């Protein structure tokens, strides 16, 4: 490869790497921001529901294992034994969820699938003295601790991220094209003095005229 070719490749590669890294960073930051905002909303909802579940004023006012009219938006109370009743389990109950219900693990966020909908879920620990609620089968339950699962659909977040990814791909493609053109321009401009010097040396070798 010629010196000009190596120079063009070096300049192009540097710009391409910068463009790609900037696009990836923008996607990661946007993803974290959107998911973080959703997690904050889930936390507020879980705290409000937990206060109701442990309230002595109106015990049993929460019905577990239910979803709203918004697909992917559900609540479910999981007792320490992991038994959510004979009704349909609307949110997957894993050993990690049972560990939170038993007080052996801290709460956490996770991605789940609720009735075919991608959703974000919070698993929130609740401690009594009494956690009272109705299961979806109508059974009244009172336990001293439980895990509360609250979900929210990821439909809007995923849509925004897909749109952002497409925009970033377009920007990256334009950036790479400009990088190639810039590399060619830099290579041509940077080699002008070298080409002139080469011509002068060759001319001197032929004529021995040092006045050049």
pLDDT exceeds cutoff 80 at 181 = no
Question: What pLDDT is attached to residue 63?
Answer: 75
Pairing, β 140-153 against β 74-78: antiparallel
CA angle at residue 46 from 111 to 91, to 5 degrees? 40
Question: What pLDDT is attached to residue 112?
Answer: 93
Question: What pLDDT is attached to residue 210?
Answer: 46
For residue 96, give every residue at least 6 positions away whose Cβ sits within 8 Å of its Cβ, in sequence order, or none.
105, 108, 110, 123
As a whole number of angstroms, the distance between CA 97 and CA 119 comes to 16
Evaluate whether 1 touches 157 at the Cβ level (below 8 Å): no
Give the residue-averaged pLDDT of 184-209. Answer: 58
Pairing, β 74-78 against β 108-114: unpaired
Average pLDDT of the chain is 81
pLDDT exceeds cutoff 70 at 190 = no
188 or 115, which is more confident:
115
> 5 falls in which pLDDT band (50, 70, 90)?
low
> 192 falls in which pLDDT band (50, 70, 90)?
low
**Among the ranges given (54-63, 81-90, 128-137), the one the predictor scored with the smallest mean pLDDT:** 54-63
As a whole number of angstroms, the distance between CA 39 and CA 140 comes to 30
pLDDT exceeds cutoff 70 at 30 = yes
Per-residue pLDDT of 100-159, as tens digits, reads: 999 999 999 999 999 889 999 999 999 988 888 888 777 888 899 999 999 999 988 888
Query: Above pLDDT 70, what percent of the chain?
Result: 77
pLDDT exceeds cutoff 90 at 9 = no
2 or 175, which is more confident:
175
């Amino acid at each position: 490869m010629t010196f000009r070719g190596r120079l063009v490749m070096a300049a192009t590669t540097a710009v391409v790497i910068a463009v790609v890294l900037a696009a990836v960073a923008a996607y990661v930051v946007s993803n974290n921001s959107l998911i973080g905002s959703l997690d904050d909303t889930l936390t507020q909802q879980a705290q409000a529901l937990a206060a109701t579940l442990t309230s002595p004023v109106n015990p049993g006012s929460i019905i577990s294992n239910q979803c709203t009219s918004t697909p992917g938006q559900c609540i479910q109370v999981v007792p320490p034994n992991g038994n959510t009743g004979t009704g349909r389990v609307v949110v997957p109950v894993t050993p990690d969820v049972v560990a939170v219900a038993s007080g052996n693990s801290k709460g956490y966020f996770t991605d789940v699938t609720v009735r075919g909908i991608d959703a974000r879920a919070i698993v929130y620990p609740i401690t009594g003295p009494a956690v009272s609620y109705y299961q979806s089968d109508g059974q009244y339950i009172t336990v001293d601790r439980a895990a509360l699962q609250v979900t929210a659909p990821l439909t809007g977040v995923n849509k925004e991220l897909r749109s952002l990814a497409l925009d970033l791909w377009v920007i990256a493609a334009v950036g790479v094209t400009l990088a190639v053109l810039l590399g060619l321009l830099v290579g041509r401009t940077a080699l002008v003095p070298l080409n002139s010097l080469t011509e002068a040396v060759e001319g001197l070798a032929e004529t021995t005229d040092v006045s050049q």
